[in-house]
Amino acid sequence: MNIQQLVDRGLKIKTYTKDSVIYEPGMQPRYVYFIKTGEVRMVTVSDEGKEFIQGVFKAGQHFGEPALLINRPYLAFTITNKDTQLIAVNKEDFFSLIKNEPDFSMNLIQTLSQRLFYKSMMLEELANEKADHRLLTIINYLLHDITEGENLKVTRQELADMTGLRVETVIRGVKMLAGKGLIKTVKGKIVKG
Amino acid sequence: MNIQQLVDRGLKIKTYTKDSVIYEPGMQPRYVYFIKTGEVRMVTVSDEGKEFIQGVFKAGQHFGEPALLINRPYLAFTITNKDTQLIAVNKEDFFSLIKNEPDFSMNLIQTLSQRLFYKSMMLEELANEKADHRLLTIINYLLHDITEGENLKVTRQELADMTGLRVETVIRGVKMLAGKGLIKTVKGKIVKG
DNA sequence: CACTAAATATGACACAGATCATAATTTTGT
DNA sequence: ACAAAATTATGATCTGTGTCATATTTAGTG
């Protein structure tokens, strides 16, 4: 099932401006959201206001399935990173997608597996590893998605919010890793290759 | 799909004694494991030998799907907590289960969703929260599975390995939480109610 | 019931990373 | 090309939890 097919079925496209909140912790889930254009981040926020990035979702992807499927209130905020168009698919329709479209079902299983893999990796890092190790792991993970010579389009703050560290620690850590030759930086940007 | 049906199909039951390693990090996954009897833990281990418990799986459950489904080497060890009987289902059979048994497929999706939920919760805790908060969160999570008056059958070491803390910190933390009346303990055991 | 092993407990000290303050650099918008 | 904003950078402290050492209590075994 892709976006076009959902549109063909007559589902409405909702438009959100950058930094809109789609849902927040405690809300009872009613939809799965398919992203037509734009990008969202899923973040949990501590009492002291510190953010942790649970995931980032882009055009063509969907989010919010787990809470809907196990019928539990959301744990996280989901917030648009850019102007974003979403299609909200209700519970009934989503369940029938799973039941009636084997390809979609298989795809969903693999998507969930991938997310589990990432979270397992990060849990190990947060539970057991120090700042430098955490940073190197995420950076290498993110470098997979880009080509030689390109640079990572993430700020130190975002790296901090993915690793549970503070910006200052990330800044010092990245500098140290670059010094040791474990990563390459150009004008502060982390570069692949 | 349940264990009996797998046996009926002629799949072999393999027996492992307590503390046997089923698979370890780096190995290429070939099977999904269904547990007939016993219990296994999935743990990642840091360079310094510190364990983190990624999950515990009991009779009737299966494990090892994500790595197989996305075709990536294991991140974790899986080790039996007791004498355990397993049925190893190969990739082909597992994929055909998903394709041909809609109920199994739906069930798997919900299982994966539940695991994601747990991991998201723990990531937030490890990234943003201090020892006491982490402890209270896990303890409350574990208390869900037992009835009033019963006590948690986990050691402080196991709590430590689930939260990324050290035993001593868990011991002090549990004592503190009990002192504040946030949890109840009897002879050191954490009791529900 | 005694003996042993495992789990819980407690104190003293060390240290990675948080926190706070302030500055330099790079990016963005007009 | 310039100003404002965002990001990166750096130094000085503070602090929660790790580390180490040793003791006490509880559980398990013949």
Q: The domain that contains B171 carries what CATH number?
A: 1.10.10.10
- So what's the pLDDT on residue A7? 64
Q: For residue A120, count other CB atoms closer than 10 A to its CB.
A: 23
Q: Which of B61, B62, B60, B57 is nearest to B80 (CA)?
A: B57
Q: Does nucleic acid strand C have an atom less than 7 angstroms from the CB of A178?
A: no
B46 touches chain A (CB under 8 A): yes
B72 CA to C9 C1' in angstroms comes to 43
Q: Which of A45, A128, A161 to mutate to test the interface with B (most CBs of B within 10 A)?
A: A128
Residue A148 is given by DSSP the state: T
Q: Looking at residue B4, what is its pLDDT?
A: 65
Please count the residue pairs, one from chain A and one from chain B, whose beta carbons lie less than 8 angstroms apart.
137
A119 lies within 8 A of chain B by CB: yes
Please answer yes or no on whether A75 and B106 come within 8 Å at the CB atom. no
Is residue A19 located within the same domain as residue A103? yes
Structural domain ending residue among the three candidates B125, B150, B181? B125
Cβ pair B99:A122 closer than 8 A: no
- Specify the pTM: 0.95
Last residue of a domain, one of A84, A109, A125: A125
Tell whether A79 and A141 lie within a shared domain. Answer: no
CATH code of B40's domain? 2.60.120.10
- Judge if A67 and A100 occupy the same domain: yes
Is B166's CB less than 7 Å from nucleic acid strand C? no
For strand B51-58 and strand B39-45, is the pairing parallel, antiparallel, or unpaired?
antiparallel
- Domain check: are A57 and A119 in the same one? yes
Helix and strand numbers (H, E) in chain B are 7, 10
> Does the CB of A71 have a partner CB in chain B at under 8 Å?
no
Residues B136 and B120 in one domain: no
- Which bases of chain D come closer than 7 Å to a protein CB? 6-12, 16-21, 25-27
Stated in angstroms, how far is B187 CA from D27 C1'?
Answer: 12
- Does B63 lie in the same domain as B157? no
Per CA to C1' distance, which residue is closest to C26?
Answer: A187
Work out the minimum CA distance from A89 to partner chain B, whole angstroms.
17
**CB of B97 within 8 Å of any CB in chain A?**
no
Which residue out of B112, B115, B129, B158 would a mutagenesis test of the A interface target, given it has the greatest number of A Cβ atoms within 10 Å? B112
Distance B166 CA to D20 C1' (A): 13
Q: Are residues B22 and B66 in the same domain?
A: yes
Q: B108 with B140, same domain?
A: no
Among residues B79, B45, B48, the alpha carbon closest in space to that of B63 is found at: B79
Residues B160, B102 share a domain: no
Residue B111 belongs to what domain range? 3-125
Contacts of B18 (CB under 8 A, 6+ apart): B80, B81, B82, B83, B84
pLDDT of residue B63: 98
Give me B148's structure tokens: 């009033």
- Look at residues A125, A146, A175 and tell me which one is the last residue of a structural domain: A125
- Report the interhelical angle of B91-100 vs B102-128 (nearest 10°): 110
Give the distance from residue A37's alpha carbon to the nearest chain B alpha carbon, in angstroms. Answer: 25
Give the total number of structural domains in chain B.
Answer: 2
Alpha helix positions (H), chain B: 3-8, 65-70, 91-100, 102-128, 131-143, 156-163, 167-179
Q: List, for chain B, all residue ranges whose pLDDT scores fall below the cut of 50.
A: none
Same domain, yes or no: B104 and B85: yes
**Per-block average pLDDT, block size 10, for chain A (193 residues)?**
66 90 97 95 94 96 97 96 94 92 93 98 98 97 93 96 98 96 92 90
- Does one domain contain both B54 and B99? yes
pLDDT for the residue numbered A193: 83
Residue of B65, B122, B163 lying closest to A113 (CB–CB): B65
Same domain, B134 and B180: yes
Average pLDDT, chain B: 93
Question: Nearest CA of chain B to the CA of A171: how many Å?
Answer: 18
Which of B50, B63, B77, B109 best tests the A interface by mutation, with the highest count of A CBs <10 A?
B109
Q: Are A58 and A111 in contact (CB under 8 A)?
A: no
B92 and chain A in contact, CB less than 8 A: no
pLDDT in tens, B122-157: 999 999 999 999 999 999 999 999 999 899 999 999
C-alpha distances (whole Å) from B10 to each of B5, B6, B113 are: 9, 7, 30
- Chain A residues whose CB is inside 8 A of the B119 CB are 116, 119-120, 123
Which pLDDT belongs to residue B177? 96
pLDDT at res. A102:
85
